[in-house]
């Protein structure tokens, strides 16, 4: 595990060389394939060394984060062309990758916390440094303080646990059971903010709207999944109390998911719509994790990976439009099928994956989550039906508003999609729909 970390760290000097933008990206792909070859024992923690190790769950998320980070570089070619601090941008992404890699691969609870919060800083720098409007300061503050506010109780909680267990190791946590109410709340809340659950999701649309494309991709792709990862790791020691209290989170997140998917219909900013849609998807993930059954856990895992690829791809598409129209408003991004028919195809594919059409990972994830939630209580069926229906509704709303109809007449000039963009979209879409052929690697854990 350490070797991959060193590989990432030694990519740092590469950022400061001139004209090495694509080299960094290629090295990330290379890292991705090296990591893919890692001999992972699917069932338990393997490759243990010092504080690092991985099981199938962290393995998939590390792969996803390397993949998304390399695609982030690919999507922000404009920074390279304009020479908009592209070296620092690469440095930032590599720092982010180090943080994410460590978050997913450490087995030490405190180090997990450390890197979990540490990944905020590069993200904040991305938003503050490469965002578009002055409002990005406020968005950055929202991002920082929403997550920090809930993370200090987590910090306390981790040390309380250390006080009792006298160690930090995650893989030993299953032998413990903390039936403590306040500890439970303090440990859970930080992850719920990160996910985000309804009521505490406000930072997400704001951060997305102000972030550059790479920031949005990493936010939707990985940052939301940190919360799910943390929940799944932490809930092991709270099994008993979670049985009593899980209904709160499930009810809030399911109803919230329905509300958020309704709110998507009122958005006129493409990015904000996609951000709200990811809140709606994450709400089902929270529900699935909180049911604490096997279907729920693996469904959340698969939906998290699927949603990471899918929403990141959609943010890419939004940015492709933004680079041409210099607007993300749905009133201006219209009739694109006339201008970019091939891009419209990718819009359709990614949006249909977003509404969990087969054979995407989202479908398998959503089926498993529906199974888990329905076996938890059949009353969740109502909300699940509404969420599932409206997810199709807003996806089609976005598709038809951007692609259909007359195009914006104030448009002066326009250029078609370039092969970099098509490659980037394909690299989002292909794993999303191919992994289902060998889904048992990600479904069988125990």
Partner 1 sequence: MCFITFFFLFMFSMINLIFFVYFFMNDLVIMMEWEVISFNSMSIIMSILLDWMSLLFMMFVSLISSVVVYYSKSYMSSEKNLIRFILLVVMFVLSMMMLIISPNLISILLGWDGLGLVSYCLVIYYQNFKSFNAGMLTALSNRIGDVFILMSIAWFMNYGSWNYIFYLNFMKNDFSMIMISSMIILAAMTKSAQIPFSSWLPAAMAAPTPVSALVHSSTLVTAGVYLLIRFNDLMLNTFFFKILLVLSGLTMFMAGITANYEFDLKKIIALSTLSQLGLMMSILSMGFPKLAFFHLLTHAMFKALLFMCAGVIIHMMMDIQDIRFMGGLSKYVPLTSLCLNISNLSLCGIPFLSGFYSKDMILEMVSMSNLNIMVYFLYYFSTGLTMFYTIRLLFYTMINDFNLISIFNLYDEDYTMLKSMFILLFMSLVSGSLLSWLIFFKPYMIYLPINMKLMVIYVSLIGGLMGFMISNMKIFSFNKFMFFFKLSNFLSLMWFMPNLSTYGLNIYFLNFSKNLLKNMDMGWSEYYSGQGFFNIIKNYSVFYQFYHMNNFKIYLFSFIIWLMMILLLLLMI
Using CB under 8 A, list all residues that contact partner 1.
Answer: 142, 146, 199-200, 202-203, 205, 259, 262-266, 294-295, 335, 337-338, 341, 348, 352, 355, 357-359, 363-364, 366-367, 370-371, 373-375, 381, 384-385, 388-389, 392-393, 396-397, 400, 404-406, 436, 439-440, 443-444
Q: Please say which residue, 202 or 411, places its beta carbon nearer to partner 1.
A: 202
- What minimum distance in Å lies between the beta carbon of 366 and partner 1? 7
Residue where the block lists tokens 């052929």: 437
Distance, CA of 385 to chain centre = 23
Q: Please say which residue, 222 or 340, places its beta carbon nearer to partner 1.
A: 340
- What minimum distance in Å lies between the beta carbon of 360 and partner 1? 10
- What minimum distance in Å lies between the beta carbon of 389 and partner 1? 5
Closest residue by Cα to residue 174 from 228, 112, 237, 110? 237
Closest residue by Cα to residue 276 from 334, 208, 324? 208
- What minimum distance in Å lies between the beta carbon of 64 and partner 1? 20
Q: Please say which residue, 30 or 397, places its beta carbon nearer to partner 1.
A: 397
Q: Please say which residue, 114 or 294, places its beta carbon nearer to partner 1.
A: 294
CA distances from 336 to 44, 81, 354 (A): 48, 25, 19
Measured CA to CA, the distance from residue 142 to residue 22 in angstroms comes to: 32
Q: Please say which residue, 101 or 390, places its beta carbon nearer to partner 1.
A: 390
Q: What are phi and psi of 207, to 5 degrees?
A: -65, -40
* DSSP string over 215-238: HHHHIIIIIHHHHHHHHHHHGGGG
Q: Please say which residue, 108 or 283, places its beta carbon nearer to partner 1.
A: 283
CA distances from 342 to 352, 425, 426 (A): 15, 11, 12
- What minimum distance in Å lies between the beta carbon of 282 and partner 1? 16
Measured CA to CA, the distance from residue 264 to residue 355 in angstroms comes to: 13
Q: Please say which residue, 139 or 235, places its beta carbon nearer to partner 1.
A: 139
- What minimum distance in Å lies between the beta carbon of 192 and partner 1? 13
- What minimum distance in Å lies between the beta carbon of 138 and partner 1? 9
Residue where the block lists tokens 């980070």: 69
Through-space distance between the first and last CA atoms of the chain, rounded to whole angstroms: 22
């Amino acid at each position: 595990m350490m070797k991959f970390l060193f590989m990432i760290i030694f990519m740092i000097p590469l950022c400061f060389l001139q004209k090495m933008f694509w080299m960094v990206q290629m090295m990330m792909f290379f890292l991705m394939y090296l990591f893919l070859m890692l001999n992972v024992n699917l069932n338990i923690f393997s490759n243990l060394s010092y504080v690092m190790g991985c099981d199938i769950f962290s393995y998939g998320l590390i792969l996803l984060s390397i993949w998304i980070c390399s695609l982030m570089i690919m999507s922000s070619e404009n920074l390279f062309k304009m020479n908009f601090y592209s070296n620092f941008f690469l440095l930032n992404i590599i720092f982010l990758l180090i943080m994410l890699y460590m978050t997913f691969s450490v087995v030490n609870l405190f180090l997990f916390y450390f890197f979990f919060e540490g990944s905020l800083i590069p993200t904040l720098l991305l938003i503050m440094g490469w965002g578009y409007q002055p409002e990005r300061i406020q968005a950055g503050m929202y991002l920082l303080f929403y997550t920090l506010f809930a993370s200090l109780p987590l910090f306390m909680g981790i040390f309380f646990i250390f006080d009792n267990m006298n160690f930090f190791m995650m893989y030993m946590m299953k032998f413990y059971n903390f039936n403590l109410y306040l500890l439970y709340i303090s440990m859970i809340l930080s992850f719920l903010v990160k996910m985000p659950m309804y009521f505490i999701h406000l930072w997400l649309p704001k951060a997305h709207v102000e972030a550059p494309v790479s920031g949005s991709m990493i936010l939707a792709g990985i940052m939301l999944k940190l919360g799910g990862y943390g929940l799944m790791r932490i809930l092991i020691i709270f099994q008993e109390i979670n049985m009593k209290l899980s209904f709160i989170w499930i009810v809030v997140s399911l109803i919230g998911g329905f509300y958020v998917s309704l709110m998507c219909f009122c958005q006129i900013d493409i990015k904000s719509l996609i951000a709200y849609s990811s809140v709606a998807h994450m709400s089902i993930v929270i529900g699935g994790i909180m049911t604490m059954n096997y279907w729920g856990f693996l469904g959340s895992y698969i939906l998290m990976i699927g949603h990471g690829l899918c929403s990141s791809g959609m943010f890419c598409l939004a940015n492709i439009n933004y680079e041409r129209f210099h607007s993300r408003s749905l009133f201006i991004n219209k009739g694109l099928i006339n201008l970019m028919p091939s891009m419209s195809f990718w819009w359709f594919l990614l949006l249909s994956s977003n509404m969990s059409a087969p054979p995407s990972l989202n479908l398998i994830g959503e089926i498993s989550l529906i199974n888990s939630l329905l076996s938890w209580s059949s009353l969740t069926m109502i909300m699940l039906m509404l969420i599932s229906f409206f997810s199709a509704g807003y996806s089609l709303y976005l598709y038809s508003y951007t692609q259909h109809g007359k195009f914006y007449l104030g448009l002066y000039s326009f250029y078609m999609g370039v092969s970099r963009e098509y490659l980037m979209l394909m690299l989002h879409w292909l794993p999303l729909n191919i992994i289902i052929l060998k889904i048992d690697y990600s479904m069988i854990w125990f």
